[in-house]
């Protein structure tokens, strides 16, 4: 994992974690124990799905940076589909509050994506591979400023 990628992942988690904790606490206050469980499940779902998605994107683009946009869109689509499947499977559960789960998931996921965007925009990453104009070990030929052929 490259340094900039790790910083973006860490930054997204640092923004999403407090939002998820606050949403979970609000869920616990409003909906009681089932709200707390729903908030914790939502926090875990976001951490697992978005964390693994970010890791997968970094792993895919490590060797082939030219596929970053298409891989990013594919991973984001898979994340949203898996979250949708998770919601459909646990739609009628009595283990936790569905509303607390949904709102905590929404706020935490949006803050994760916002954190990724913020840290991606503020990261100082080169978008081209700088190549030296002169290979290492060789000296550049001196540039002549004028011609000496004029008589």
Tens of pLDDT, residue by residue over 83-108, are: 888 888 888 888 888 888 989 999 99
Q: For residue 62, what are its two tokens?
A: 């490590």
Over residues 43-57, the mean pLDDT reads: 88
Determine contact, residues 71/60, Cβ cutoff 8 Å: yes
Q: For residue 72, what are its two tokens?
A: 């990013």
Determine contact, residues 20/107, Cβ cutoff 8 Å: yes
Tell me, what's the pLDDT at 66? 81
6-45, pLDDT tens digit by residue? 777 788 888 889 999 999 999 999 989 999 999 999 999 9
């Amino acid at each position: 994992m490259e340094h900039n990628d790790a910083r973006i992942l860490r930054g997204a988690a640092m923004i999403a974690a407090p939002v998820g904790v606050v949403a979970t606490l609000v869920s616990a206050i409003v909906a009681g124990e089932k709200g707390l469980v729903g908030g914790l499940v939502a926090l875990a779902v976001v951490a697992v799905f978005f964390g693994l998605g970010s890791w997968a994107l970094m792993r895919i683009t490590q060797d082939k940076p030219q596929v970053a946009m298409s891989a990013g869109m594919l991973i984001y689509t898979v994340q949203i589909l898996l979250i949708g499947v998770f919601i459909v499977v646990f739609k009628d559960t009595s283990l936790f509050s569905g509303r607390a789960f949904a709102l905590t998931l929404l706020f935490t996921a949006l803050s994760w994506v916002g954190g990724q965007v913020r840290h991606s925009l503020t990261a100082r990453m080169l978008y081209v591979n700088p190549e030296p104009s002169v290979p290492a070990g060789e000296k550049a030929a001196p540039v002549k400023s004028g011609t000496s052929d004029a008589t």
